[in-house]
Structure 1
Amino acid sequence: MTTPTLAMLLQGFFTERLGRQLHASAQTVAAYRDTIKLLLIFAAEKKGKTPSRITLDDLDAVTVGAFLVHLDTERHNSTTTRNARLAAIHSLYRYALPLIPEQANTLSQVLAIPQRRHDRATVSYLTSAETEALLAAPDRSTWYGRRDHALLTTAVQTGLRLSELTGLAVQDATTTTPGAAVHTTGKGRKQRTTPLTRQTLAVLRAWLPEAGPAPDGPVFPTRRGTRMSADAVQRLVAKHAATAAASCPSITSKHVTPHTLRHTAAMALLAAGVDTSVIALWLGHQSATTTHIYLHADMSIKERALARVPGARTTPGRYQPADDLIDFLERL
């Protein structure tokens, strides 16, 4: 039997494994594709070859390790992104291992590269005043401003992921009442329906006629009618956060991203007394334990818990220096 080339392995991995066997989502396929593309370009530069001439021998543990360092030092990726890239590479190598057992040594060494542990910071979210300032930032006298205002309002209220926001189609938004909601298919191919508040519904009803008539068109399109990229939404949020800082300076202390808006939606639900299991369903979390990060971030919950604990019956003491004469006698 002919040993498969790297090109054959990649074709089989994306079409057979991810496409037919795992039925992976478009987001997963795109993330894995980007990782393999970056790895091939990096290896080609190191080996002095074109990407199409790279072989599996060129992608050994040393090269993959250097690629991970490159992600850290050159691309300035976070540990989370670095681990996600490594997971994609591991998935490819696990697929290749039974197909080319003669390369087991090379493949096993790459598979042995561990995920990096990292600190988990407390989630960052916007207060109600900061949220109001952000939503007021877009200039609604322009088409772009009305689109951005609708996007920010929807993100803050629904807590949709960035990919869910950019993938939201006009037909996915129900604006009739009762039952006004947005329908999404999120992480893990989970379908969920997120209800809309009266304020968000009013904003979407005003905006949707400008989004375009096609039912499968994006709710938040570019001027050409295409879906916005993730980078475009990130720039949009950062721009309006900078504008909002003029009226609400506390925003400057926070790194506001689309995911910050998701955290803001979760914290608003938690502050309203919504149970964490319901918040997990609202956000589409795989496990309710994921939602516990919001319990750690909410100081008011901890303060209420502390108020129920009886304090120790002690009185504060104050340092009193020893009498000079007694001190002299004690030293004799």
Structure 2
Amino acid sequence: MRTTDFAQCLTAYLTVYLPGQLGLSENTIMSYRDTFKLVLLFAEQKRSLRPERITLADFNAEFITAFLFWLEKERGCCTATRNQRLSALRAFAQYARSQHPAYLLESQKIEDMRGKKSPAPTIAYLTPDDMASILLQPDTETKYGRRDMILLSLMYDSGARVQELCDLQVRDIRLRKPPTVTLTGKGNKTRHVPLMSSTAAVLADYFRENKLSLNEKLDWPLFTNHQGKKLTRAGVTYILQKYVTAAKEINPNLPSKISPHVLRHSKAMHMLQAGTNLIYIRDFLGHTHVDTTEIYARTDTDMKRRAIESVQIKIEPDLPQWTEDKSLMSMLTNLCGNN
């Protein structure tokens, strides 16, 4: 069977252009790949187009509009997910135009498509007491209980994304003063994050227990599962949720489900409430722009406003109507007339 221009373009885009020329991380490329898996599924189910028969002529603005509608209405995707998929498709259209100049007009139509507006996201975060109640749950008398306590402590203290935590190697931890952890985030960008002395102390115990200071173990995963392999995002989420469930028995106000990203939000909010400058929080979290970090400031401002409003003294609307005071009205009229 003859290969279509769409198949050739998509293969080169995912296997050569994104990793080779743009240098995107594996996780980012997987996100693009997942978008196109959905595109192929939509084409087959709703357009009776088998994947191997799709051409660039089929991949037009009308096709993408229908695909986005299908994502929302039939797959129940939120606006943010819809916009993320659209962004990936626009980027591909731009690449396809460079490989097939005849695709220029259609690619311009696709690039002109705009994402839907969505409500400002709300930030879910824990109080320091909530966080402490979770960290108290692992049984530190057991090997894996100690691992879990240290894992959760490091995830909160460093504000790491869950994938950054999973990817940590032994060499990424510096226990000498000042103790730091080196995190590799989006776009393979690294940042050095300082650690609290208490976190460094439990990490030092973890290194001694597992003999991680040996040179031959520098490239080992910092946290491993029962098979000795590095933990996955699903594994970290499972560990966290297990202790959230346990903590909820003594802290009923704790949300029933807490994702690893909530710990990242919590660290950022606690830093902000402690008076840390937004620029420092941006660098700490590995954000590219401070605009992304400002969402924490807006959340904190809203929280303070609600607290202030809750203690405001309400003035009953039984004051006299000043418009009924004829002498006052006359004075105001004369005042304005003199000007």
Corresponding position of 1:278: 280
Q: CA deviation at 1:130?
A: 0.5
Distance change (3 Å), C-alpha of 1:230 and 1:78: farther
Aligned partners of 2:133 and 2:179: how far apart in 1? Answer: 26
Counterpart AA for 1:270: L
Corresponding position of 2:148: 148
> Quick one: which of 232, 236, 255 aligns to 1:233?
236
The reply to whether residue 98 of structure 1 matches residue 98 of structure 2 is: yes
Corresponding position of 1:202: 201
Q: Indicate if the aligned counterparts of 1:138 and 1:146 stay in contact, CA closer than 8 A.
A: yes
Q: CA deviation at 1:95?
A: 0.4
1:155-304 correspondence runs (5 A): 155-176=155-176, 178-208=177-207, 209-210=209-210, 214-252=217-255, 255-298=257-300, 302=304
Q: Indicate if the aligned counterparts of 2:43 and 2:50 stay in contact, CA closer than 8 A.
A: no
Aligned partners of 1:78 and 1:318: how far apart in 2? Answer: 43
Q: CA deviation at 1:299?
A: 5.2
Aligned partners of 1:227 and 1:70: how far apart in 2? Answer: 36
Counterpart AA for 2:189: K
What do you get for the CA RMSD once the two structures are aligned? 3.2
SS in 2 for 1:250: coil
Unaligned runs of 5+ in 1: 322-332
Q: Indicate if the aligned counterparts of 1:79 and 1:116 stay in contact, CA closer than 8 A.
A: yes
Aligned partners of 2:206 and 2:43: how far apart in 1? Answer: 47
Q: Indicate if the aligned counterparts of 1:170 and 1:218 stay in contact, CA closer than 8 A.
A: yes
Unaligned runs of 5+ in 2: 321-339
Q: CA deviation at 1:94?
A: 0.6
Counterpart AA for 2:34: D
Residues 129-179 of structure 1: CA distance to partner in whole angstroms, max 9, x if unpaired? 100111123333444433322221111111011221111111111123x12
Report the TM-score, using the length of structure 1 for normalisation: 0.81
Q: Indicate if the aligned counterparts of 1:295 and 1:301 stay in contact, CA closer than 8 A.
A: no
Q: CA deviation at 1:92?
A: 0.8
Corresponding position of 1:329: none
Q: CA deviation at 1:60?
A: 3.2
Distance change (3 Å), C-alpha of 1:40 and 1:140: farther
Q: Indicate if the aligned counterparts of 2:93 and 2:107 stay in contact, CA closer than 8 A.
A: yes
Distance change (3 Å), C-alpha of 1:320 and 1:107: closer
Corresponding position of 2:325: none
Q: Indicate if the aligned counterparts of 1:211 and 1:218 stay in contact, CA closer than 8 A.
A: no
Report the TM-score, using the length of structure 2 for normalisation: 0.80
Residues 78-105 of structure 1: CA distance to partner in whole angstroms, max 9, x if unpaired? 3222222211111111100132233345
Counterpart AA for 1:151: L
Q: CA deviation at 1:315?
A: 9.7
Q: CA deviation at 1:261?
A: 0.5
Distance change (3 Å), C-alpha of 1:255 and 1:211: farther
Distance change (3 Å), C-alpha of 1:318 and 1:80: closer
For this pair of structures, how many residues does the alignment match?
312
Distance change (3 Å), C-alpha of 1:306 and 1:41: closer
Q: CA deviation at 1:126?
A: 0.5
Distance change (3 Å), C-alpha of 1:315 and 1:259: closer
Q: CA deviation at 1:194?
A: 0.7
Q: Identity percentage over the alignment?
A: 34
Q: CA deviation at 1:75?
A: 4.0
Aligned partners of 1:64 and 1:302: how far apart in 2? Answer: 43
Q: Indicate if the aligned counterparts of 2:4 and 2:53 stay in contact, CA closer than 8 A.
A: no
SS in 1 for 2:193: strand
1:126-145 correspondence runs (5 A): 126-145=126-145
Aligned partners of 1:148 and 1:68: how far apart in 2? Answer: 40
Aligned partners of 2:145 and 2:152: how far apart in 1? Answer: 10
